[in-house]
Amino acid sequence: MKDLHLSLSMAAVVAALSTAASAYTVSGTVADESGVAIGNADVTLVKENKATKTDAEGKFTIHEDENVEPPPTGIFASSTTPGFISINSGILSFNQGANSPVQVRIFDLMGNQVFKQTLYGSGQVDLTSGVKAKGTYFAQVSTGSAKQTIRFTSEGNFSASFDANGHALLKDVQPGETLRVIADGFDTLSVPLGTLDTTLALKLTKTPPPAPTFKFGYALKNDPTPSKGCGTTSKLQKTKSVENGDRFELRVGSENREYFLTLPKNYDNKKPYKLLFAMHCMGSNAEDFVHHNPDQDHPSPYYGQQKLDTEGNYIFVSPRGDTDGMPWSVSSDKDHKFIDQLLTTLEENYCIDTSRVFMTGFSFGAMVTNSMAQDMQDRLRAVAVYATADYNIYLPKNKGLPIAWMAVHGKNDGTCQYNRARDSALKRILKNNGKADADGNFTDASAEKPKEVGGSGHLCYDFTTVDERFPVKFCSWNGQHQWTAYDNGNWQSTWVPEEVHKFFEQF
């Protein structure tokens, strides 16, 4: 490579600056995250106020030659000592007077300064010694108002930054310079620049469509809605620890109500968790659904759902029913007040996804779950009921809002009548769950009838006329009053937990 002389003398520098020009070239490509070129994107160099558009291949170039005015007369004192600077194969040689130090700065391709040194007197400097990482760099060497830019690699390859007309390619970048890229359907990209001589490969991120809004409810697979308790430490005091959980009490009106709680092993108070209520049946209690010797009513904790939560995404809670002879109140809303207050308490003390609160129960636990589904549609996303009935339970006035609902019922159930579940509880849910009309109001889907199991085995029917955000599934099987329905063998081969888990996981 030939020698590049910044100044043979200060007079020569002034003469050179009066005729030379500086320029810049910013170029590159714009593509999406998959590497597909984006054409017709607006690319703007903000401080320079220069803009262009990408071509069909996503390429762009912003280039400009710019005259450099000579320094004002008298800027150099008459006592300035002439000096000599040359660069040959990356070796900078200098011989300067004390009043003319040599400034050396090295930048990477993004314009980040990686080296700076001021040189006095005479000597030599290997420019590659100023970089530590492999790559391409710019060395800007200046004395007084004269500048020269050298492009080089860490392996020792050098080239002068001149174009065919002898113009210098690198112009000083203005502070805060930014390259801005705008394309329809993509997030705006702003790239800070430290140099105006660079080639960039830019990736744009597709702008997600705005979240749909509804008159009621959430979209399927909506983002979690964190509760007040996210990021805080629970202030609840357990009364004792039990196998697989802790016992707590909650004062509701004039009563102390009992509940049990099981957190994921690696609970994180910044992660919103799904919440599942397990409502116990007659002849059982809340603790039975936290830990119990396996049988057809308790094959594993929380109606088999904890075992299926392999990623630890759920918080499980088992409330205890009233103690007036029936597990849940048949004549008042006291249990509704209990569950409403309990849910609020949990959301204030733990990180809960308030849009994914579920409830499930068998027999009397199913009855109270259906009761809650009457007026807690704004707090419960979905419920699953096993062998439910529409009697012997307090039923509040239905708010007329939809709720996702799944039922499992034996056709030979002699305790909770199958026909009553099909023709009363199911029909009441369908009345609210029909597809929303143009005004966002839900329609009546109760005219659709479920297909039912004929002989042995089971059949789960998914209703087609309901709103997809509020699905309804009705599972019939050739069995009796038992929630662990099975087709072959016995309760240990039940298909119910897996079906319910899939139902909840669709949200």
Does position 189 have pLDDT exceeding 90, yes or no? yes
The tokens describing 14, both together, are 């002034």
The three-state DSSP-derived secondary structure of 230-260 is: CCCCCCCCCCEEECCEEEEEEEECCEEEEEE
**Cβ atoms 26, 44 nearer than 8 A:** no
Could you tell me which of 319, 257, 267 has the C-alpha nearest to residue 289?
Answer: 319
Could you tell me which of 268, 267, 496 has the C-alpha nearest to residue 361?
Answer: 496
Could you tell me which of 79, 25, 12 has the C-alpha nearest to residue 52?
Answer: 25
Which stretch of 42-56, 102-116, 200-214, 348-362 has the lowest confidence by average pLDDT? 102-116
Does position 8 have pLDDT exceeding 70, yes or no? no
Dihedral sign for Cα 409, 414, 417, 419, please: positive
pLDDT at residue 467, rounded to an integer: 97
**Cβ atoms 186, 194 nearer than 8 A:** no
Which stretch of 58-62, 210-214, 411-415 has the lowest confidence by average pLDDT? 210-214
Estimate to the nearest angstrom the gap between the alpha carbon of 501 and the chain centroid.
Answer: 23
pLDDT at residue 143, rounded to an integer: 77
pLDDT at residue 145, rounded to an integer: 65
Could you tell me which of 139, 140, 123 has the C-alpha nearest to residue 131?
Answer: 139
- DSSP state letter for 157: -
Average pLDDT over residues 284-311: 95
**Cβ atoms 86, 5 nearer than 8 A:** yes
Estimate to the nearest angstrom the gap between the alpha carbon of 359 and the chain centroid.
Answer: 26
pLDDT at residue 368, rounded to an integer: 97
Between residues 118 and 34, the one the model is more confident about: 34
Does residue 439 come out as left (phi exceeding 0), alpha (psi in the -120 to 50 range) or beta?
alpha
The two beta strands, 122-126 and 458-462, are: unpaired
Does position 225 have pLDDT exceeding 50, yes or no? yes
> Confidence class of residue 68 from pLDDT cuts 50, 70 and 90?
very low
Beta bridge partners, 242, equal: 245
State pLDDT tens for residues 452-473.
999 889 999 999 999 999 999 9
How does the average pLDDT of the chain come out, rounded? 87
Secondary-structure percent of the chain, ordered helix, strand, coil, rounded to 5: 15, 35, 50
Whether domain 240-505 has CATH 3.40.50.1820: the reply is yes
Amino acid present at 108: D
The Cα diameter of the chain in Å comes to 114
Q: Is 188 helix (H, G, I), strand (E, B) or coil?
A: coil
pLDDT at residue 76, rounded to an integer: 32
Q: Which residue has the tokens 């029936």?
A: 326
pLDDT at residue 253, rounded to an integer: 95
Does position 46 have pLDDT exceeding 70, yes or no? yes
The two beta strands, 91-95 and 122-126, are: antiparallel
Average pLDDT over residues 398-413: 97
pLDDT at residue 266, rounded to an integer: 95
**Cβ atoms 250, 257 nearer than 8 A:** yes
> Confidence class of residue 5 from pLDDT cuts 50, 70 and 90?
very low
Which stretch of 82-91, 273-282, 333-342, 452-461 has the lowest confidence by average pLDDT? 82-91
State pLDDT tens for residues 124-154.
888 888 788 888 888 888 877 677 777 888 8
**Cβ atoms 342, 319 nearer than 8 A:** yes
CA 126, 129, 134, 140: dihedral to nearest 10 degrees? -60
User: Is residue 96 exposed (0-12), middle (13-18) or buried (19+ Cβ within 10 Å)?
Assistant: buried
Q: What percent of the chain has pLDDT over 90?
A: 67
Give the integer Cα–Cα distance in Å for 19 and 9.
Answer: 16
Query: Can you give the residue ranges of every domain in the chain?
Result: 10-204, 240-505
Give the integer Cα–Cα distance in Å for 230 and 350.
Answer: 6
Helix axes 364-375, 334-349, angle to 10 degrees: 80
pTM recorded for the entire structure: 0.67
Which stretch of 67-71, 183-187, 273-277 has the lowest confidence by average pLDDT? 67-71
Average pLDDT over residues 34-53: 96
